[in-house]
Amino acid sequence: MSGGFDAKLVSRCGIDCRVCVGFLGYTLSGGKSPEICGGCRTREKLCAFITNHCHKLADKDQIEYCSDCSDFPCENLKKVDKPYSEKFGVSLVENLMFIRTNGMEEFLKSEREKWKCPTCGGVICVHTKKCYTCETNKTGET
Ligand SMILES: [Zn+2]
């Protein structure tokens, strides 16, 4: 029972795309997203953060996670992490440190537990704290 949690869905900066509102097919404002995101790693372009702020990774695929970098956690990542932690209650730096210490398998296992919907066993979204499986059942959408 993986629930779709996968190392391929963990971004370089430590976001678990599996619980991201964009991956779940919705927008932060609550509507259905016209475009479902396949996760940061499956997209051709690197994320805005890396493109704009990370000169080490901007042109080469040298580093699997920001935590592999000698500058980790760099000022730029911290700048992204702070508002993200405050807003969504998840620290990207902590995610990466957890992965570094305990390994990816343990991280995925803990994510699965952490975001499991108590009602239906579906996945709770980190950004909206909603379970779209329950939401979908409620509104009758498919
Ligand atoms: Zn649910």
Q: Is residue 32 part of a domain?
A: yes
pLDDT digits (tens, 9 = 90+) for 66-92: 898 888 998 888 988 999 999 999 999
Q: Is the dihedral of CA 31, 33, 37, 38 positive or negative?
A: positive
- Residues paired with residue 131 on neighbouring β-strands, in sequence order: 124
Q: How many independent structural domains does the chain possess? A: 1
- 3-state class (DSSP) for residue 65: coil
Q: Is residue 128 part of a domain?
A: yes
Spatial CA neighbour of 63 closest among 91, 96, 32: 96
User: What type of residue sits at position 77?
Assistant: L
CA atoms within 13 A on the CB side of 81: 18
Q: Is the dihedral of CA 135, 126, 46, 97 positive or negative?
A: negative
Nearby residues of 63 by Cβ (< 8 Å), 6 or more positions away? 12, 56, 57, 69
Give yes or no for residue 129 having a pLDDT over 60: yes
Output the pLDDT for position 82.
94
Task: Give mean pLDDT, residues 49-67.
Answer: 67
Q: Is residue 113 part of a domain?
A: yes
Give yes or no for residue 7 having a pLDDT over 60: yes
pTM: 0.86
Compute the distance from residue 132 Cα to the ligand 1 centre, in Å. Answer: 7
User: What type of residue sits at position 15?
Assistant: I
**With bands split at pLDDT 50, 70 and 90, how would you rate the model's confidence at 125?**
very high
Compute the distance from residue 121 Cα to the ligand 1 centre, in Å. Answer: 6
Compute the distance from residue 86 Cα to the ligand 1 centre, in Å. Answer: 24
Q: Is residue 1 part of a domain?
A: no
Choose the weakest-confidence range: 1-10, 27-36, 96-105, 125-134. 1-10
Give yes or no for residue 16 having a pLDDT over 90: yes
Q: Is residue 134 part of a domain?
A: yes
Between residues 75 and 107, which one has the greater pLDDT? Answer: 107
Q: Is residue 43 part of a domain?
A: yes
Q: What is the mean pLDDT of the chain?
A: 86
Q: Is residue 2 part of a domain?
A: no
What are the tokens at 31? 């509507």
Compute the distance from residue 25 Cα to the ligand 1 centre, in Å. Answer: 15
Segments forming the whole domain that contains residue 19: 7-139
- Residues paired with residue 26 on neighbouring β-strands, in sequence order: 32
Compute the distance from residue 89 Cα to the ligand 1 centre, in Å. Answer: 20
Cα gap 128→21, rounded to integer Å: 7
Q: Torsions phi, psi of 131, nearest 5? A: -100, 115
Q: Is residue 34 part of a domain?
A: yes
